[in-house]
Structure 1
């Protein structure tokens, strides 16, 4: 009985450590991407083309469904549109919203495809029927990691929040007084671009600190998360 309790505690602790490790890795990768945005954009562009080629090869050699493969290729074309203004993006832009929808649909459709085990009616009562080979767990996991999740995950880590984009000439009112522009320009220019991953992690850390303060704990009293 106590061994089961220990196993539950160990599972929870392990999950917490795994979550913290992933968050720390995302934070570190996001900082690197912020300093090397142009090489990251080139890498993501080539990665998208590579994955599209992989999907075509899977269609030809492994008989993957044509419509589903075509949908995944179109989804990666949509992901590629986010790179036009890389690393900046607006969370309310149609391209970003459509990309999020494609990620969800891709995951659902492919999961349903690999989980389909229905036996054709004409072979349902045939003891000699040999079902087609099913993909192994490692094959399915590798496909999802490379062809479904990799580009959306990389875009999430690489893209920066639109609120931190430096103002462009189209965003500035031509009728505004020049003195007002001069007074506000330094403040805007001092804003630094921040990756979406860092924005999300900082918000989560802020909420955790608020909960801990409510419970009477005060961890890192001098720490102030990045204002969003």
Structure 2
């Protein structure tokens, strides 16, 4: 019985540590994107072209469905349009809204594809020359989703500008073209990535809750900057 309780405690501890690791990673990546916008834009652009090439190879050599593959390639072409003013992305722009919808649709269609493999009718399976269709393993499906479905949307999410929530003049500057397209910085101020803002907000909330219970987790609390 005690071993079972210990296992539950280990699961909770592991989940907490995993969550903190993901949050720390998001914060670090968001910092990296802010400071290295030009290399990040180049990396994401090349990654999109690479993933499009992977889709073509999967269609040619692994028999992936043509129309679904073509749909995913079109999806990545639309993702590419978000990089024109990287890392500043207008949340209300048609391209960004279409990208959000396509992320969900692309994920759903490929999930349906791998969840319901086509099995030939019994009369075909009785044929001596019949070869059973190859069903992808869990590691193959997970790798496909991680690289070809989630990687670029995740990169764009981390790079989202939170200037509408932080700098009141950011939207006007963006619309007037008062931004450096390479550095991703406003001529009047510096923006922050949305992922960084979200993680920072959650972190501050955890600090405040711990402070209410008499614990101080913020190492910079009370320090004069």
TM-score by length of 2: 0.81
CA–CA separation in structure 2 for the residues paired with 1:46 and 1:167: 30
Q: What is the number of residues matched between the two proteins?
A: 208
Alpha-carbon displacement from aligned partner over 1:78-114 (angstroms, at most 9, x marks no partner):
1111101111112232222221111111111111111
**Alignment match, 1:81:** 81
Alpha-carbon displacement from aligned partner over 1:163-187 (angstroms, at most 9, x marks no partner):
2437438559xxxxxxxxxxxxxxx
For structure 2, which runs of at least 5 residues remain unmatched after alignment?
A: 178-186
Alpha-carbon displacement from aligned partner over 1:184-217 (angstroms, at most 9, x marks no partner):
xxxx92x421011101112222333344455554
Q: What secondary structure is seen at the aligned counterpart in 2 of 1:84? A: coil
CA–CA separation in structure 2 for the residues paired with 1:221 and 1:33: 25
**Alignment match, 1:102:** 102
**Alignment match, 2:4:** 4
CA RMSD of aligned residues (A): 2.8
Report if aligned partners of 1:37, 1:87 keep a CA contact under 8 Å in 2.
Answer: yes
Report if aligned partners of 1:91, 1:162 keep a CA contact under 8 Å in 2.
Answer: no
Rate the CA distance shift 1:170–1:144 in 2: closer, same or farther, 3 A. closer
Instruction: Indicate which of 194, 197, 203 corresponds to 1:196.
Output: 194
Alpha-carbon displacement from aligned partner over 1:48-103 (angstroms, at most 9, x marks no partner):
01100110111111110111111111111111111011111122322222211111
Once the 2 structures are TM-superposed, how far is the Cα of residue 121 of structure 1 from its aligned partner?
3.7
**Alignment match, 2:134:** 133
Rate the CA distance shift 1:95–1:81 in 2: closer, same or farther, 3 A. same
